């Protein structure tokens, strides 16, 4: 006797709780595009997005977000890409579009660098492992340079030099980082 197929009922997926970022993307089976879940205090998506990105223009905020999502698409699905980019940018708290772009760039470089490390580990041939390891090193070095560029931009380009005068020898010691900062 043939079995009857039970009609499967779709149980709606509950949206995720927003943690530290006020915006979270989630996808339910059958949905083509991710849904947006906002923190209770976030009334309007675009206003919240502009606030997270540190910009005043909606189109600019959306363009920066989409650029980061596009950079991460080869490694994870669209929903996760949105969440990774938004969380990274939110944690870095950009004050303007330049800082937001550097935060998105750093996030993408870090993800690609670690993906290449994973590929190096699972490569079948030594030449492939070397290729992926070298690529990972370059990407992660560029990630560090991007973070340094963000920090320099935030400092306004000012450099910190510590000069300590040793009275005993009557010579100045430059770049002695053992003491507390500032010029002595």
| Calpha distance 108→106 (Å, rounded) | 6
> Which has the closest alpha carbon to 73: 85, 60, 59?
85
Q: pLDDT tens, position by position, for the chain (184 residues)?
A: 555 555 555 555 555 555 666 676 656 666 666 666 655 555 577 888 888 899 999 899 999 999 999 999 888 888 788 888 888 998 899 999 999 999 999 999 999 999 999 999 999 999 999 999 999 999 999 999 999 999 999 998 777 777 776 566 666 666 655 555 555 4
| 90 Cβ neighbours under 8 A, 6+ residues apart | 20, 21, 22, 52
For tokens 């920066």, name the residue. Answer: 64
Closest CA to 150 of 99, 94, 88, 95: 99
pTM metric for this prediction: 0.67
DSSP states of 94-155: -SSHHHHHHHHHHHHHHHHHHHHHHHHHH-SSHHHHHHHHHHHHHHHHHHHHHHHHHHHHHH
Q: What is the pLDDT of residue 184?
A: 46
For residue 164, give the H/E element and its range. strand 163-166
Reading phi first (left if > 0) and then psi (alpha if -120 to 50, else beta), residue 48 is in alpha
N- to C-terminal Cα distance for the chain? 93
Q: Helices 97-122 and 126-155: crossing angle, nearest 10°?
A: 160
Whether 159 and 148 have beta carbons less than 8 Å apart is answered as no
Instruction: Please give the pLDDT value at position 18.
Output: 56
**CB-CB contact of 23 with 42 (8 Å):** yes
Cα Rg, the chain, nearest whole Å: 24
């Amino acid at each position: 006797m043939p079995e009857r197929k039970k009609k499967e009922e779709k149980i709606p997926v509950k949206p995720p709780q927003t943690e530290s970022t006020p915006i979270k993307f989630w996808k339910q089976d059958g949905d083509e595009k991710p849904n947006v879940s906002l923190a209770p205090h976030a009334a309007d998506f675009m206003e919240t997005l502009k606030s997270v990105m540190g910009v005043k223009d909606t189109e600019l905020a959306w363009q920066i977000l989409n650029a980061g999502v596009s950079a991460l698409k080869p490694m994870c699905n669209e929903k996760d890409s949105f969440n990774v980019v938004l969380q990274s940018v939110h944690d870095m708290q950009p004050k303007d579009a330049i800082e937001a772009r550097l935060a998105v760039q750093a996030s993408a470089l870090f993800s690609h660098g670690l993906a290449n490390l994973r590929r190096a580990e699972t490569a079948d041939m030594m030449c492939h492992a070397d290729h992926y390891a070298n690529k990972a090193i370059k990407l992660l070095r560029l990630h560090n340079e991007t973070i340094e560029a963000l920090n320099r931009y935030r400092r306004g380009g000012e450099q910190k030099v510590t000069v300590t005068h040793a009275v005993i020898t009557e010579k100045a010691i430059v770049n002695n980082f053992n003491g507390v900062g500032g010029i002595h």
